[in-house]
Structure 1
């Protein structure tokens, strides 16, 4: 039967959509896209290489001068580009950078490495767009350095409380830039590194323009000035006094009990990790009793040293109690404790365990790791990603700083990844901590480079706050960092041992302690305003061109 459905009349000269006459237009768009890809391919390839170079500035490689090279490379690649082109270049730079930096996540899955790197690279894409827009402004290196701080400011906070890994400051925890942390914290170190790298990029642009033109030497003066300024900024940190004198000292012992094996299943059978730490403590007690070792003033155990809730399982409580009584001094015990009112939730705590009074004051981790210690949108995501079922309970965040009286010392407890967050460490010191303790459990990421990256953060915090930092790890790296950022004691990974040290206690506050987040906010806002200024200047330029053509 013929189709009698009414059809709208077609105007004369029109062609139905999808007809063969659309083919030339499609081929034209395809050729333009292919040409664009070919034109951008060299720049994209260099951006990828630049991101990999920047990753090598971080532990475990520790080639900090490459942080300047990475900054300069991104600045050169985005210079004079449109915001869209800059964003693509920033993304091409950021994705390989974070992939190499975060490859320790491969123990969870390479898809996890790629996924987290992808999210972080989006921030670098925005940075690239900002660098492109502001590259035409006068004093461009200053605005570029501010934009690096702006990018880190945003990435450190959003989403889910942020992820600060990969800050330029964390690649410079043993460089001439490091002492600047005592003035303005990690953001000021990032600013100085980015400014030096951007000045080097500006010098390279001048020299490139002069190539083969036989211009007089004085034409290269701007490049010389830029390099000189970069050098001055690079060594400016050496002029910052780093105070390390101790008001008094305390003798400590750090117990690294070790685990059965690295990876996701490091826990092994229940009570094993707790028994490792209790046994090592009892051995220390035996050495003290035999006169082979001096009795410490306090003992520090790492995060998750008790793999069972001691308040729920009597065998765990008794094992801790026996070890503490054997040494006869307070022990800071890391343990997972069930939430008393919310089934399915758990506290990640540091508990002061006294040989006479038993468990006392405690600190609960304030910033649990999303998708590692709790699963956002658990009900929905667990149906799609079954791997999240390996996180059976969500960690419940604490609501106060971790200043604890452990024997004769007032210590600031910071648990694991919290050392990466400026605000948590800053508040802990300002609340009265005379030294910092980072209780951590890196057994999942053993021999991947992650423990070295976290220890580097402790080195920066030591200088920033003028405090000794103790890192106590279940499987390593346990260490003591002096207030000047020097690692004075260390136990290697996957080694059971007890580290003895005389820990300096300090009350004096640094400038960074007093100013807090003010430098970061100020630099980040200037970075944003520079983008606004670039947009206004660009609009005015287009308006003048349009008037001139009329």
Structure 2
């Protein structure tokens, strides 16, 4: 006789159905889920922890009551977002940081609630676990990218995959497909935990390996035959000993001086002649269209380098309370080309403009410290004699549609102008991870130009080149290949994400029908018992 090892015990309720994991185990799992998701993102970059984080939350919230599922997800979100967004407290203080982090955590709470809601489907068709968890995370991010006040997409699963094979999936379905693959891998891990070892376990292991490793074999687009020389100027920001107006002038001086030094190096044969120079966001906080001294300084730099400069400028309006955040093409000899100007389309709520200002003023008068930044009304297409640039400003790189619109509008390379001076290196690296994804997603060589760092060039495979340090001046010059082809992700646009949302809605309806059937079966069983 062959002795078989005893089967793993399953806890069952009075009706014979499996019960959720004990709360004493579920709470630590939810905490670990948040920590894993945090450490997967920059600056830690332990990308392989993202599927583990999804799996831990899935196991913790499976079969729970909806309220408990939400609470566990909220706990995961708090552990993730409070440290991840800590840099928002540097300039704005602790209250906006706490409000933003809490709002983002609510969406993860809803993911825990949704996992609990789908438990009947997960129990009945275990093979659907990877697909359902993938759809849940795509749907959660789709909502978080849009609400409230236009959304805040920071901390997406896709942005943790800069060094992972799954980054290549961005070329086929954008950030939503990368998120789906990461969450589906987490679903494979969760399914392996939920079930006893059997033949099905092998299938989940194979699927897990395929989701994590197989994307490395996918071909990528981009990298055309024509190239142009592009320079990034990171002028740095003086922090001590200057009042506000003096510091603004010093920032402009730094960028102009660095450009003049580059021109001298070009003249002496130490550096190549650039076709385009990129200055970062806020490189001229003094409006050069209204201030003659600022305009003269920028013109001198453009004339010396003999190439157009994309200047990041804060523009004043006739209303002193209103400003614009813009990128302006400044040509040598002729000055600003106002036909090649991009105004930031998505100002950041509570930082660049104040939603419901009259209501917020009832809480604190500090709301009036926030200017009213006016949103632009067109895509960031900047055309020079040498190339067509797709320009987005700072946090806009996190939004799928804003970046895609530049590519469909004819951009041959992508640029992100940003100012990280009021944040820290962690925020800058989180932003650079987004640039890496966008370069792969659209098959466009890309760059990030920052006042203080991190500035860098990025290839169409997501590889980072010539990365600058933080809080230092730097000038980087590189050949960038121009491309006008379109990846599958560019052509599909929003459809992969919307398909995921629709399928998730179908799963919610299916779970509702299963729950209803379960309640009906339970009522019938009670009637039969009473008749006996």
| Same fold, TM-score > 0.5, yes or no | yes
Alpha-carbon distance in 2 for matches of 1:187, 1:296: 36
Equivalent of residue 380 in structure 1, options 359, 362, 376? 359
- 1:95 maps to 78
Equivalent of residue 367 in structure 1, options 332, 346, 367? 346
Q: Give per-residue Cα distances to partners, 1:396-429, cap 9 Å, x unaligned.
A: 0011111111340100001100000000001110
Alpha-carbon distance in 2 for matches of 1:41, 1:345: 53
Contact 2:308-2:329 at 8 Å conserved across structures: yes
- 2:239 maps to 261
Contact 1:260-1:266 at 8 Å conserved across structures: no
Alpha-carbon distance in 1 for matches of 2:191, 2:424: 41
Alpha-carbon distance in 2 for matches of 1:293, 1:458: 26
Alpha-carbon distance in 1 for matches of 2:245, 2:381: 28
- 1:20 maps to none
- 2:8 maps to none
Query: What do you get for the CA RMSD once the two structures are aligned?
Result: 1.7
Is 2:510 the partner of 1:527?
no
Alpha-carbon distance in 1 for matches of 2:415, 2:384: 11
Q: Give per-residue Cα distances to partners, 1:370-401, cap 9 Å, x unaligned.
A: 1111111223313423443332x211001111
Distance 1:266 1:161, change over 3 A: farther
Alpha-carbon distance in 2 for matches of 1:192, 1:285: 47
- 2:329 maps to 352
Structure 2 residues not aligned, in runs of 5+? 1-21, 528-532
Q: Give per-residue Cα distances to partners, 1:172-224, cap 9 Å, x unaligned.
A: 122011100000000000000000111111011224xxxxxxxxxxx522222
Matched pairs, number: 497
Alpha-carbon distance in 2 for matches of 1:476, 1:381: 33
Alpha-carbon distance in 2 for matches of 1:146, 1:547: 34
Contact 1:470-1:480 at 8 Å conserved across structures: yes
Is 2:111 the partner of 1:122?
no
Counting only pairs closer than 5 Å after superposition, residues 201-212 of structure 1 correspond to structure 2 as: 201-207=190-196
Contact 2:29-2:57 at 8 Å conserved across structures: no
| Residue 318 of structure 1: how far off its partner (Å) | 1.1
Alpha-carbon distance in 1 for matches of 2:244, 2:75: 35
Q: Give per-residue Cα distances to partners, 1:475-525, cap 9 Å, x unaligned.
A: 111100011110111111111121010011111110001000100000012
Distance 1:45 1:267, change over 3 A: farther
- 2:116 maps to 132
Query: Structure 1 length as normaliser, TM-score?
Result: 0.87
Is 2:135 the partner of 1:146?
yes
Alpha-carbon distance in 1 for matches of 2:28, 2:105: 16
Is 2:36 the partner of 1:59?
no
- 1:505 maps to 482
- 2:14 maps to none
- 2:520 maps to 543
- 1:279 maps to 257
SS for the counterpart of 2:120 is coil
Is 2:454 the partner of 1:465?
no
Contact 1:413-1:439 at 8 Å conserved across structures: yes
Contact 1:446-1:475 at 8 Å conserved across structures: no
Structure 1 residues not aligned, in runs of 5+? 1-38, 208-218
Alpha-carbon distance in 2 for matches of 1:86, 1:195: 19
Contact 1:477-1:490 at 8 Å conserved across structures: yes
Q: Give per-residue Cα distances to partners, 1:407-463, cap 9 Å, x unaligned.
A: 40100001100000000001110100000010000111133x000000000000000
Contact 2:314-2:325 at 8 Å conserved across structures: yes
Alpha-carbon distance in 2 for matches of 1:141, 1:541: 23
- 1:29 maps to none
- 1:291 maps to 269
Alpha-carbon distance in 2 for matches of 1:267, 1:133: 56
Query: Structure 2 length as normaliser, TM-score?
Result: 0.90
